[in-house]
Amino acid sequence: MTTSDPLHTPAPERVAVVTGGSRGIGRAVSLQLARDGLAVVVNYTRDAASAEETVKVITADGGRAIAVRADVADEHAVTALFDRAEREFGGVDVVVNAAGHLALSPVADLDLSALDEMHRTNIRGAFVVAQQAARRLRPGGSFLGVSTSVVGTQFPAYGAYVASKAAVESMTLILARELRGRDITVNTVAPGPTATDLFLDGKTPEEIERLAKTPPLERLGTPEDIARVAAFLTSPAGHWVNGQVLRANGGMV
């Protein structure tokens, strides 16, 4: 007769929900968390093909993942997203809110419809996802928001975008304190210039080169750079970090 050895009992599978998980930083986070052994719910809004491709890459490597469509600003859709995660995988341990919208313009010239769209995703969406995370995360879990280092660098033309991301940063410590006693961490990663479609769109080669030279490391970040930070902050190894905004930007001020 054999008995189980508690020292060698496999740890329960951890489950992650990654919003905006089909492209850019979100995709890199989805892939990294899957490599680390988490089952991943890859959320997307419009690009189903990219979401399914991300899932295909994860499952081909032996991981478990599903793609689920949901507009992060729609509380009913986000509730259904978390319901699906719980039905498929049994619960939620990690939430990374990588969904975001960017529109660049001087304050004087910004179309207010662009402002409304950006704030709908970046503020309302961040709040809706955080609300569900606060309700659903299991003990030992983590919520990670995504901001931008431009909150600190204050580049021209980023006024509306920075206003939306500053809201994400302001919520971080408050939510961490509200979850006192639940063994759940809340942090935000604030990338510097990162070579994603969202960042590169509309910029000239000269602008990209100038921004790449800004950090002391003299290069753009990669989505994988940010994904590794996200993986640490949401892992058991990073669980003593709580209520913090981490600027992952290669040394920009």
Burial class (CB in 10 A: 0-12, 13-18, 19+), 30: buried
* Catalytic annotation present for 161: yes
Contact 242/185 with Cβ under 8 angstroms?
yes
Catalytic pick among 161, 190, 215, 231? 161
Greatest distance between any 2 Cα atoms in the chain: 77
Q: How far is CA 239 from CA 66, 76, 90, 143, 231, in A?
A: 26, 30, 22, 11, 11
Range list of H helices, the chain = 24-35, 48-60, 75-89, 112-119, 126-136, 150-153, 159-178, 197-200, 205-212, 223-233
Active site residues: 161
